[in-house]
Structure 1
Amino acid sequence: MDLPKIVAHRTEGGWMLEAEGLAPAYIRRLSEAEDCGHALMKAANAPGADNGIQLTVDLGDELNQRVKAATQATVDAYKAQLQAARELRRTASALKNQGMTGRDIAHVLHISPQRVSQLLAQSVTAEG
């Protein structure tokens, strides 16, 4: 069953919660929206309200797009960081397999010898 939908809009001094078939409700802080919206939907006997609500924050087209883009950029950066860490582990392992010492690997990769030890330990764990 779908959760009841509530849209929060910024107003002067707070937020307006809108749901189909209900009068708008006003709250001071967005952090109150889920609890207030859930209480409103339960009081209105909205189908699915016992399971919660689906809250959407509408800041207008421009800000909605900026929030979406910023959130996506954060996700993309996290994925890139994970990929970079995998590649660094593989590279450290390949250098070790070529007979290089941990200190030499550290120098080549511009990282500390301690980080080399961590990477090599992680690559063994990832393979095993």
Structure 2
Amino acid sequence: MDAGQIVEPPRIVACRAGDGWVLHMDGVEPTYVRRLDGAIEHGRILMEAAKVPGAEQGAVLKIDLGDELNQRVTVSTQATVDAHKAQVAAAAELRRTAAALNEHGLTGRDIAHVLGVSPQRVSQLLNDQQARG
């Protein structure tokens, strides 16, 4: 390996086994852990002792629950990301709408009634919109 070569962190694949997890790593015999919260550190220590390249820099944990559960995890985490994006977009639209209603002469209290939010929230929306330009 060249001195300037970047080494990817080694992977640890955790598979459910009984009440815990079996960690599969290159260059190391599979090992059992009870919980995932220490799996990366445990695997990294084992790989470092076995002189697996890059282990001293850390490791990447991949959790393998089987095809069906892996797919469900992927779908649900993507739904969470999509919901966050939608929430950010909705908040931006709410700020723009509050500003448009304000420009049309509605009072803060009237804007609050129209949008179904508190007058304090209208104040925040208008201040946020002004700050964002």
The question of a shared fold, defined as TM-score above 0.5 by the shorter chain, is answered with yes
- 1:2 is matched with 8
2:50 matched residue in structure 1: 44
**Aligned-pair CA distance for 1:94:** 0.5
Quick one: percent identity of the two aligned structures?
58
Once the two structures are TM-superposed, the CA of residue 123 in structure 1 deviates from its matched residue by 0.5
Q: Please, which of 108, 111, 114 is the counterpart of residue 108 of structure 1?
A: 114
2:85 corresponds to which of 79, 82, 91: 79
Note the 1:1-128 alignment, pairs <5 A.
Answer: 1-127=7-133
Pairwise CA RMSD of aligned residues?
0.8
**How far 1:13 moved relative to its partner?**
2.1
Give the superposition deviation at 1:48.
0.6
Q: Distance in 2 between matches of 1:118 and 1:13?
A: 49
Give the TM-score normalised by the residue count of structure 1: 0.96
Once the two structures are superposed, residues 7-65 of structure 1 have per-residue CA deviations (whole angstroms, 9 ceiling, x without a partner) of 00010121100012321111111112011111011011111111101110000000001
| Alpha-carbon separation, structure 2, partners of 1:48 and 1:87 | 46
Q: Which runs of 5+ in 2 are unaligned?
A: 1-6
Letter in 1 for 2:70: N
Structure 2 letter corresponding to 1:122: D
Distance 1:60 1:27 in 2: 18
User: 1:83 deviation in Å?
Assistant: 0.3
In 1, are the aligned partners of 2:27 and 2:47 still within 8 Å (CA)?
A: no
Q: Distance in 1 between matches of 2:117 and 2:108?
A: 10
> Would you say the 8 A contact 2:27–2:52 is kept in 1?
no
Deviates more, 1:55-64 or 1:107-116: 107-116
Report the number of matched residues: 127
Please report the TM-score for the alignment, with normalisation by the length of structure 2. 0.92
Where does structure 1 lack aligned partners over 5 or more consecutive residues? none
